[in-house]
Amino acid sequence: MHTPIPYETMQWVLPKEGGSFDPKSGIVLYQKEGVWMVDMESNRYDAQNLQTLHEKVRHAAGRAHMRYPTVARMMVQNPEDFVVIGTLSARGIPRLEKDLASDLVQRLEAYAQVSLQTLLDQERALNPPRMHF
């Protein structure tokens, strides 16, 4: 049995230059046994639970975490071909970096085809505040 890959070791990334990724794919970068890998989710078949970029990233991370066999995984020769835009919590919840540079925000909005505010709202929906009594 394989040991799961910890979510905290994964990075939420965007490709620097195009690449062979479907538009609006959720992509995570991680190392497995010393080899850089990416898992991605594009929702080609329009599943209802994979509509937002956060949901796609979470799905790709879950697949990588469990080492689930997939064609949506590839080895990466150069991890510098990606730019980190976020991390994952211990539970696999994607979180955008707090201080993204303005040019990176523009690139992210163009890639996701939604505003940064919409992405932050989607993130809050996945990470509701905890009530303390």
For 5-50, how does the pLDDT look when each residue is reduced to its tens digit (9 = 90+)?
999 999 999 998 767 788 899 999 999 989 999 999 999 999 999 9
- Residue 2 pLDDT more than 90? no
- Residue 23 has a pLDDT of 84
Out of 21-25, 71-75, 123-127, which region has the weakest mean confidence (pLDDT)?
123-127
Spatial distance between the Cα atoms of 15 and 97, rounded to a whole number of angstroms: 16
- Residue 1 pLDDT more than 80? no
Query: What's the rounded mean pLDDT across residues 69-78?
Result: 94
Q: What confidence tier does 124 reach under pLDDT thresholds 50, 70, 90?
A: confident
- The 10 Å CB-count burial string (b at 16+, else e) for 70-91 is eebbeebeeeeebbebbbbeee
Is the Cβ–Cβ distance between 127 and 95 less than 8 Å? yes
Query: What's the rounded mean pLDDT across residues 67-84?
Result: 94
Spatial distance between the Cα atoms of 123 and 108, rounded to a whole number of angstroms: 14
Structure confidence by residue, pLDDT tens digits, 104-117:
999 999 989 999 99
Sorted by where each begins, the domain ranges of the chain are 7-126
Spatial distance between the Cα atoms of 32 and 19, rounded to a whole number of angstroms: 21
Q: Is 125 exposed, middle or buried (0-12, 13-18, 19+ CB in 10 A)?
A: exposed
